[in-house]
């Protein structure tokens, strides 16, 4: 009951003209960014953060804008999967398998609208899951002391490579690099400068927004330059959409699939190190095993479109649970959303629900509103989005680069930050070549100081005894999960990876 | 081979990081752990993981030919110039040139690139400065 009244308060906050307008804008931009190959949800949110920040939006409106972009990108990714057989972002990869064959059979419109409805179902149930699960997780999190938090951060880093990570050494390298970057600046506890090399600009530390935009958005521009990929992917292909509503019988046949996939996707989203790509992969494989009796999956079976779409949108909602309740994101895009919270001076985690209920519940209400908007935007207006696929990267990428520069310049007004951002762009390009994941770097720069503070606090409380880190059952449990999460991929990664075809395309910025 | 070089570079980076950490001046008011311990842990992880990368390399990544590499460096130089000239030339002029360059290198015709550049720059100026009120770098001409 308490939950429902909090939710009602949330709607009261979210239903202002400004917030509705921002949600609509976010949904629209998010769908575009999801649909365009090369701009995934993490890139999309990364580019827009500095703008939300410099425009002086308050916490709740900025979060509404950016989570709408996040949900929208999850919707948008399917459009180019279905029409062009090119996933707009990584979670939409599995949608290619049955979506494109459906489009070839002349059922593109049905596939698009069915996947839109599946996305809605997945996101809708995941938002309810968030409402029910997050407060329970908060209750557990309130038992955490500094030692447990330190273990939790370690768990986040060790599982972030995910079960599909083929090289755990590179994930560990990325995490350590990110943590090392976070150490730059004045030590918060003793006031001594560290790793600044006398450069005054570095005393405040590196701004993680600069790192995020450089690593994600600018490195993408460099990738396009490297391949000189300037033509639109849709060029020369005729796109026929056809009728825009799925027949009732098709919807009926897909309903159990959607519900099962929403559940699987949500769980995959909540678990550390899984995220939306794995959510859609698991849902698809499960459905294939359960209902594919005639071997129609992969040849344009509508259930093969419904499963991954419900799965990845549910996972997107699920991934918000650990981010909001524990302050520890489990996927790339939620890591970027964490950056938003931190730059707005809001500390996520259990206290968020107690101290800023307006932010939490306003955000959750906004998720519901955004989901309905996306359904409304995506079914009748899908034609507009498909036309946007015709915009060539030679026009799009300069815009992406310039908007990134404007956003970062807007925050600080200093050229120094722009230079740092270009440096991160080049670094991101090199690391992507080496197949080093970028998300642990971001997470390291975001959480490094909090992680160190918890470590020092825990040990100081116990008079310099380092064994205090594994002193409580809770902490030991977290360490065990962390170690299992780190070792497991060494055995299973190749299997999962070969299941997720073309996993390499955007491996480094994977969500 | 690439991974081996990368790993060796990582080990050197870890050593450098550890040396830099040992140079941190400790304050007389320090906690039980101090400002050096966590950086040492990070350096250890960095070094270990780099060593593993060097000893068990992945298959060779697909490196672009030299021409493409120069392309990327040239774009980075243009961006650096952009960052430096932004306060001098003003937002609209600098952005138009930078965007036009990128568009040209991505395969637009000269005319198309100029149009993209001017369009991007004026578009951003109108949306972000005139409509949303973001302050952008001001040049000698006032924009």
What is residue A236's predicted lDDT score, i.e. its pLDDT?
56
Mark yes or no for CB contact B87/A189 under 8 Å.
Answer: no
Q: Is it the case that residue A271 has pLDDT exceeding 60?
A: yes
Q: For chain A, what is the mean pLDDT?
A: 83
| Residue A262 β-bridge partners | none
Beta bridge partners of A193: A186
Q: What sign does the dihedral A281-A284-A289-A290 (CA atoms) show?
A: positive
Examine the pLDDT at A163 and tell me if it is beyond 70.
no
Q: Is B83–A415 a contact, with Cβ atoms under 8 angstroms apart?
A: yes
Q: With a CB-CB cutoff of 8 Å, which residues 430-489 of chain A face chain B?
A: 433-435, 451-452, 455-456, 459-460, 463-464
Residues A130-160 pLDDT 10s: 999 988 888 888 888 889 989 988 888 888 7
Cβ of B53 and A167 within 8 Å? Answer: yes
- Per the CB < 8 A criterion, the answer to whether A362 and A22 are in contact is no
- What is the rounded CA–CA span in Å between residue A125 and residue A132? 11
Does A268 or A245 have the greater pLDDT score? A268
pTM of the model: 0.86
Query: How many CB atoms sit inside 10 A of residue A304's CB?
Result: 28
φ/ψ (deg, to 5) at A289:
-70, -35
| Chain B closest-CA separation from residue A464 CA (Å) | 5
Q: Which of residues 153-192 of A touch B (CB under 8 A)?
A: 166-167, 169-170, 172-173, 175-177, 179-180, 183, 187, 189-192
Out of B38, B82, B134, name the one closest to residue A410 (CB). B134
> For an interface test with B, which of A29, A160, A402 has the most B Cβ atoms less than 10 Å from its Cβ?
A402
Q: What is the DSSP string of B2-19?
A: HHHHHHHHHHHHHHHHHH
- Most confident option among A29-38, A239-248, B22-31: A29-38
Cα–Cα dist A121/A486, whole Å: 32
> Shortest CA distance to A440 belongs to which of A330, A360, A340, A347?
A330
pLDDT-above-70 percentage for chain A: 91
CB nearest A460 (choices: B25, B33, B72):
B33
CA dist A250 → A7, A96, A111, A245, A301 (Å): 34, 19, 10, 10, 10
Q: Please state, in angstroms and rounded to a whole number, the distance separating the CA atoms of residues A262 and A279.
A: 9
Among A55, A394, A482, the strongest candidate for a mutation testing the B interface, having the largest count of B CBs within 10 A, is A394
The continuous run of DSSP H or E covering A436 comes out as none
- Name the band, by pLDDT with cuts 50, 70 and 90, for residue B10: very high
Nearest to A225 among B32, B34, B106 (CB): B106
The answer to whether B106 contacts A224, with C-beta atoms less than 8 Å apart, is: yes
Please give the full DSSP string across A199-264, using - where no structure is assigned. -GGGTT---HHHHHHIIIIIHHHHHHHHHT--S-TTTT-------SS--HHHHHHHHHHHHHHHHH
Q: Do B71 and A399 touch (CB under 8 A)?
A: no
Q: How confident is the model at residue B117 (pLDDT cuts 50, 70, 90)?
A: very high
pLDDT per position as a tens digit, A470-481? 888 889 998 998
φ/ψ of residue A143, rounded to 5? -80, -10
pLDDT per residue over A293-342, tens digit each? 777 888 888 888 889 889 988 988 888 898 888 888 877 788 888 888 88
User: How close A187 comes to chain B (CA, Å)?
Assistant: 7
A175 and B45 within 8 Å at the Cβ level: the answer is: yes
pLDDT band at A468 (very low <50, low <70, confident <90, very high): confident
pLDDT at A162: 62
A389: helix, strand or coil: coil
Residues B40 and B14 sit within 8 Å (Cβ to Cβ)? no
Q: Which residues of A touch B110 (CB under 8 A)?
A: none
A203-222 residues touching B, CB cutoff 8 A: 218, 221-222
Predicted confidence at residue A273, as pLDDT, reads: 65
Nearest Cα residue to B55 out of B103, B3, B105: B3
Spatial distance between the Cα atoms of B100 and A257, rounded to a whole number of angstroms: 48
* H or E element, residue A194: strand A193-194
Q: Give helix A2-14 / helix A357-378 axis angle, nearest 10°.
A: 70
Task: Write down the pLDDT at residue A239.
Answer: 64
Closest alpha carbon within chain B to A179: B42
Residues of A in Cβ contact (< 8 Å) with B10? 173
The per-residue pLDDT for range A97-135, each reduced to its tens digit, is: 888 888 888 888 888 888 889 999 999 999 999 999 988
Residue in A179, A190, A429 closest to B30 by CB: A190
Query: Is A218 within 8 Å of A425 (Cβ atoms)?
Result: yes
Judged on CB neighbours under 10 Å (0-12, 13-18, 19+), A455 is buried
- How far, in Å, CA of A48 to CA of A216, rounded? 12
User: Which residues from chain A sit within 8 angstroms of residue B112, using beta carbons?
Assistant: 394
Interface contact flag, B49 A434, Cβ < 8 Å:
no
- A111: distance to nearest CA of chain B, Å? 33
3-state secondary structure of A394: helix
Nearest to B32 among A179, A405, A464 (CB): A464
Cβ atoms within 10 A of the Cβ of A390, count? 12
CA distance A447 to A441: 10
For residue A500, pLDDT over 70 is answered with: no
Report whether pLDDT(B69) > 70: yes
Indicate the length of chain A as a whole number: 511
At B18, the pLDDT band (50, 70, 90 cuts) reads: very high
Nearest-by-Cβ selection for A192 from B32, B35, B123: B35
A434 vs B61, B80, B82: nearest CB: B61
pLDDT band at A507 (very low <50, low <70, confident <90, very high): very low
| pLDDT at residue number A128 | 92
Q: Which residues of A touch B87 (CB under 8 A)?
A: 415
Mean of pLDDT values over B8-13: 94
Helix or strand (DSSP H, E) at A370: helix A357-378
DSSP A507: G
Give residue A479's pLDDT: 92
Q: Lowest mean pLDDT of A258-262, A296-300, A505-509, B106-110, name the range.
A: A505-509
Contact B106 A393 (CB under 8 A): yes
In sequence order, what are the beta bridge partners of A194?
A185
Least confident of A58-67, A232-241, A266-275, A414-423: A232-241
Tell me the C-alpha distance between A186 and A199, whole Å.
12
Residues 51-110 of A with CB under 8 A from B: 51, 54-55
C-alpha–C-alpha distance, residues A383 and A108, integer Å:
11
Question: Which residue among B6, B103, B132 sits closest to A434, beta carbon to beta carbon?
Answer: B6
**More confident: A76 or A501:** A76
Q: What is the band of A508 on the pLDDT scale with cuts at 50, 70, 90?
A: very low
The answer on pLDDT for A83 being more than 50 is yes
The strand ranges marked E within A110-198 are 185-186, 193-194
Distance from CA of B56 to the nearest CA of A (A): 9
Q: What is the pLDDT of residue A165?
A: 63
Query: Which residues from chain A sit within 8 angstroms of residue B39, using beta carbons?
Result: 180, 183, 194-195
Q: What is the pLDDT of residues A395-431, one digit of tens each?
A: 888 888 998 888 888 877 788 889 999 999 999 999 9
Give me the mean pLDDT over the A177-186 stretch.
Answer: 91
Name the least confident of A79-83, A235-239, B69-73.
A235-239
Q: How confident is the model at residue A231 (pLDDT cuts 50, 70, 90)?
A: low
| pLDDT for A234 | 59
Strand A185-186 relative to strand A193-194, pairing: antiparallel
φ, ψ of residue A193 to 5 degrees: the values are -75, 145
Lowest mean pLDDT segment, chosen from A12-16, A58-62, A199-203, A211-215: A199-203
H/E run at residue A186: strand A185-186
Q: Which of B75, B86, B108 lies at the smallest CB-CB distance from A409?
A: B86
| Least confident span in A220-234, A243-257, B72-86 | A220-234
- Angstrom distances, CA of residue A375 to CA of A119, A160, A315, A372: 8, 31, 17, 5
């Amino acid at each position: 009951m308490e939950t429902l009244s909090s939710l009602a308060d949330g709607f009261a906050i979210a239903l202002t003209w400004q917030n509705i307008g921002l949600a609509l804008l976010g949904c629209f931009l998010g769908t575009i960014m999801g649909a365009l190959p090369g701009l995934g949800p993490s890139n999309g949110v990364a580019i827009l953060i500095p703008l939300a920040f410099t425009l002086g939006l308050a916490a709740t409106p900025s979060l509404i804008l950016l989570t709408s972009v996040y949900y929208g990108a999850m919707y948008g990714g399917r459009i180019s999967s279905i029409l062009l057989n090119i996933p707009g972002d990584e979670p939409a990869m599995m949608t290619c398998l049955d979506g494109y064959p459906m489009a070839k059979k002349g059922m593109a419109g049905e596939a698009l609208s069915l996947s839109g409805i599946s996305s809605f179902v997945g996101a809708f149930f995941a938002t309810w899951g968030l409402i029910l699960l997050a407060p329970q997780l908060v209750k557990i999190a309130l038992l955490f002391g500094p030692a447990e938090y330190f273990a939790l951060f370690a768990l986040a880093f060790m599982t972030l490579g995910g079960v599909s990570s083929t090289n755990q050494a590179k994930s560990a390298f990325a995490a350590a690099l990110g943590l090392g970057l976070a150490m730059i600046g004045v030590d918060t506890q003793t006031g001594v400068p560290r790793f600044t090399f006398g450069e005054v600009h570095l005393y405040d530390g590196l701004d993680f927004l600069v790192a995020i935009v450089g690593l994600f958005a600018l490195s993408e521009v460099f990738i396009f330059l490297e391949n000189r990929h300037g033509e639109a992917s849709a060029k020369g292909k005729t796109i026929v959409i056809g009728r825009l509503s799925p027949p009732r019988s098709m919807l009926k046949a897909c309903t159990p699939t959607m519900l099962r996939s929403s559940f699987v996707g949500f769980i995959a989203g909540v678990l550390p190190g899984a995220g939306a790509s794995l959510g859609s992969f698991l849902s698809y494989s499960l459905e294939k095993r359960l209902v594919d009796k005639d071997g129609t999956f992969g040849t344009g079976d509508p259930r093969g479109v419904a499963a991954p779409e419900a799965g990845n949108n549910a996972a997107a909602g699920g991934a918000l649970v650990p981010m909001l309740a524990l302050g520890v994101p489990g996927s790339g895009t939620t890591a970027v959303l964490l950056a938003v919270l931190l730059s707005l001076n809001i500390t996520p985690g259990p206290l968020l629900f107690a101290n800023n209920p307006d932010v939490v519940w306003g955000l959750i209400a906004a998720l519901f509103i955004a989901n309905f908007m996306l359904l409304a935007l995506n079914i009748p207006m899908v034609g507009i989005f498909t036309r946007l696929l015709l915009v060539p990267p030679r026009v799009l990428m300069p815009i992406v680069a310039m908007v990134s520069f404007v956003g970062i310049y807007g925050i600080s007004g200093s050229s120094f930050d722009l230079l740092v951002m270009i440096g991160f762009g080049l670094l991101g390009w090199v690391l992507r070549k080496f197949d080093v994941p970028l998300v642990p770097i971001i997470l390291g720069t975001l959480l490094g100081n909090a992680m160190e503070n918890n470590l020092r606090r825990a040990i100081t409380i116990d008079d310099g005894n380092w064994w205090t880190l594994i002193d409580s059952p809770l902490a030991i449990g977290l360490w065990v999960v962390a170690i299992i999460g780190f070792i497991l991929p060494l055995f299973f990664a190749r299997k999962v990876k070969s299941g997720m075809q073309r996993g390499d395309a955007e491996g480094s910025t994977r969500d | 081979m690439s991974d081996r070089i990368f790993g060796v570079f990582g080990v050197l980076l870890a050593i450098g990081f550890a040396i830099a950490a040992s140079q941190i001046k400790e304050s007389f008011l320090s906690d039980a752990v101090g400002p050096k311990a966590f950086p040492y842990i990070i350096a250890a992880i960095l070094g270990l993981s780099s060593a593993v990368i060097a000893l068990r390399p992945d298959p060779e990544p697909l490196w672009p030919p030299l021409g493409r590499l120069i392309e990327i460096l040239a774009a980075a130089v243009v961006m650096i110039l952009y960052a430096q000239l932004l306060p001098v030339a003003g937002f609209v002029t600098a952005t138009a040139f930078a965007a036009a360059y990128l568009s040209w290198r991505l395969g637009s015709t000269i005319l198309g690139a100029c149009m993209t550049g001017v369009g991007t720059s004026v578009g951003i100026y109108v949306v972000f400065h005139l409509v949303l009120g973001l302050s952008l770098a001001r040049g000698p001409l006032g924009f």
